[in-house]
Chain A
Amino acid sequence: MSKKVTPWLDNLLQEIEGIEIRRKDSRRVRIDIAADSLPTLLELLRGRAGYVHLSAITCVDWIDESQFELVYQLWSYESQSLVSAHIRIARDPGVYVSVFDLYQPAAFFERDIHEMFGVYFEGSPDMSKFILTEWNGPPPMRKEFDAEAWVNETFERKEYQPDWLKEITEQGGGIVKSPEEARQKKP
């Protein structure tokens, strides 16, 4: 089965304009496509090629190029192969269409991406808070969000060399390597 489907799929995909197909493996295909054509591609893959399982939608923040990359991972049980469809959308305003009507699990992935990256999906059934119900700050997975600075601002830290530890250190115990020393990379 798998031997027949794969070349057939390749021929089919060549029909779409502005598409770049890279075959990573006999069972893995990477497709880069314009953002406008993605719903068409997904419809084609789902309806005609048996890619019925949307495993995940992932988001990558390319802050230097001012773009978000969305990766749709599709799996076919018939040909046992994975297609990852990559698109780039503008970082500002960061709006894209939902694929909920094609793949219902997309609702969760889109809600998650909306929470973590602030990408809004038009037509998604629910864009409310998902996991970070206690979070009121900016979307934390965006590259411009500095988690360390936020932590330093919000939390206090315990002293690394309290008095009681100094006594232990004098007796030969305590912290062997200071955290600053431990973080230094070996040449």
Chain B
Amino acid sequence: MKEIDIPIEASVDRNRTNPLARVFDELVRFCRSRSMFMLHYCTGCGAIELPPAMTSRFDMERLGIQPMVTPRQADILLITGYVSIKTLKRVILTYEQMGSPKYVIGICSCTVNGGMYWQSYATAKQLDQYLPVDLYIAGCMPRPEAVLEGMRKLMDRIRSGEADGWKDYYRRYDWYLGNQQHLFGDDWQTPADVIGEASHYDLAGPGTEGEHTRLLQQCQKPLEPQQTFFQIGGSLEVKGESHE
């Protein structure tokens, strides 16, 4: 695959000369909190409580929250229940595809501390070691009222600017990556260039790079288009490429 070099303009010297900048910030935050698309990654039983929260009885849409089908268009990543180690890989891949600002909500006790899977070899225990969780909604499982309460809390936090877990992921990427490598092994890599994104958002700090990111760079293999074969009908084979 040919490498494409796109110059990214650094935003270091962006002086905020506009006197209305803070007003706009507030307006933007207000609008952002009132229109959220959530990607619910239904990992466990907590997903059962979301249809009633979304449909006519509790009607999440009156708060401006709607389900979204793709991670790249979503603002909230809802993790509804236990995350097995296998699922956690997919969750991290999904999270890194989402555009910033992005928020993670952990629903159910299992995301907090393993819940009823406290001694299971197959599930990750604390979600916030691998992803920056903005809000936990505890319960086994939380009722739709609790889910809505949590959503309102997140809206408040977005409006006040406290919900900045996604910034934390860029600032302390080395720590998060270290925990991920602890579970998945040293050759763990994702297609996203998180360090590059961190410097793009001007969020690269002392915790962004470290021993774990150096390990990542050592073990990193260049991504290649995956060869896929489709069989249509009898013997006809169509060769295609899919990009992961």
Residues from 56 to 84 in B contacting A, C-beta threshold 8 Å? none
Whether A144 sits at the interface, judged by CB under 8 Å, is: no
Q: Shortest distance in angstroms between B115's beta carbon and chain A's nearest beta carbon? A: 11
B86 lies within 8 A of A134 (CB):
yes
Q: How many residues of A contact B (CB 8 A)?
A: 17
Whether A92 sits at the interface, judged by CB under 8 Å, is: no
Count of A-B contacts judged by CB separation below 8 Å: 43
Chain B residue numbers with a CB within 8 Å of A158 are 112-113, 126
The 8 Å CB contact of A157, one of B121, B122, B125, B185, is: B125
B129 and chain A: residue at smallest CB distance:
A156
Whether B120 sits at the interface, judged by CB under 8 Å, is: yes
Bound Cα distance from A119 to B174, whole angstroms: 40
Assuming A140-B121, A147-B119, A147-B121, is B114 touching A155 (CB within 8 A)? yes
Assuming A151-B125, A156-B126, is B184 touching A134 (CB within 8 A)? yes
Whether A148 sits at the interface, judged by CB under 8 Å, is: yes
A134 lies within 8 A of B89 (CB):
yes
Q: Shortest distance in angstroms between A43's beta carbon and chain B's nearest beta carbon? A: 34
Chain A residue numbers with a CB within 8 Å of B89 are 134
Whether A8 sits at the interface, judged by CB under 8 Å, is: no
A133 lies within 8 A of B118 (CB):
no
A132 lies within 8 A of B126 (CB):
no
Do most interface residues of chain A lie in helix, strand or loop, or is the interface mixed?
loop
A155 lies within 8 A of B119 (CB):
no
Q: How many residues of B contact A (CB 8 A)?
A: 19
Q: Shortest distance in angstroms between A167's beta carbon and chain B's nearest beta carbon? A: 17
Chain A residue numbers with a CB within 8 Å of B112 are 158
Assuming A134-B86, A134-B184, A156-B129, is B113 touching A148 (CB within 8 A)? no
Assuming A156-B126, A158-B112, is B119 touching A151 (CB within 8 A)? yes
Bound Cα distance from A63 to B118, whole angstroms: 24
Chain B residue numbers with a CB within 8 Å of A147 are 119-121
Bound Cα distance from A135 to B185, whole angstroms: 10
Bound Cα distance from A135 to B121, whole angstroms: 9
Bound Cα distance from A86 to B114, whole angstroms: 36
Residues from 100 to 133 in A contacting B, C-beta threshold 8 Å? 132-133
Chain A residue numbers with a CB within 8 Å of B85 are 134-135
A148 and chain B: residue at smallest CB distance:
B119
Chain A residue numbers with a CB within 8 Å of B141 are none
Whether B135 sits at the interface, judged by CB under 8 Å, is: no
Whether A93 sits at the interface, judged by CB under 8 Å, is: no
Q: Shortest distance in angstroms between A149's beta carbon and chain B's nearest beta carbon? A: 9
Residues from 95 to 119 in B contacting A, C-beta threshold 8 Å? 112-114, 118-119
Contact code string B167-184 (vs A, CB < 8 Å = 1, else 0): 000000000000000111
Whether A137 sits at the interface, judged by CB under 8 Å, is: yes
Whether B124 sits at the interface, judged by CB under 8 Å, is: yes
Chain B residue numbers with a CB within 8 Å of A150 are 121
Assuming A133-B86, A134-B86, A157-B113, is B120 touching A151 (CB within 8 A)? yes
Assuming A134-B184, A147-B119, A148-B119, is B124 touching A155 (CB within 8 A)? yes
Q: Shortest distance in angstroms between B71's beta carbon and chain A's nearest beta carbon? A: 21
**Residues of chain B having any CB pair with chain A under 8 Å:** 85-86, 89, 112-114, 118-122, 124-126, 129, 182-185
Question: Could you jot down 16 A-B contacts, CB within 8 Å?
Answer: A134-B89, A135-B85, A137-B121, A140-B121, A140-B122, A145-B121, A147-B121, A148-B119, A151-B114, A151-B125, A155-B114, A156-B126, A157-B113, A157-B114, A157-B125, A157-B126
Closest 7 A-B residue pairs measured CB to CB? A155-B125, A148-B119, A147-B121, A158-B113, A134-B85, A134-B86, A140-B121
Q: Can you add 5 more A-B contacts, CB < 8 Å, to A134-B85, A155-B124, A158-B113?
A: A132-B86, A135-B122, A150-B121, A151-B114, A157-B125
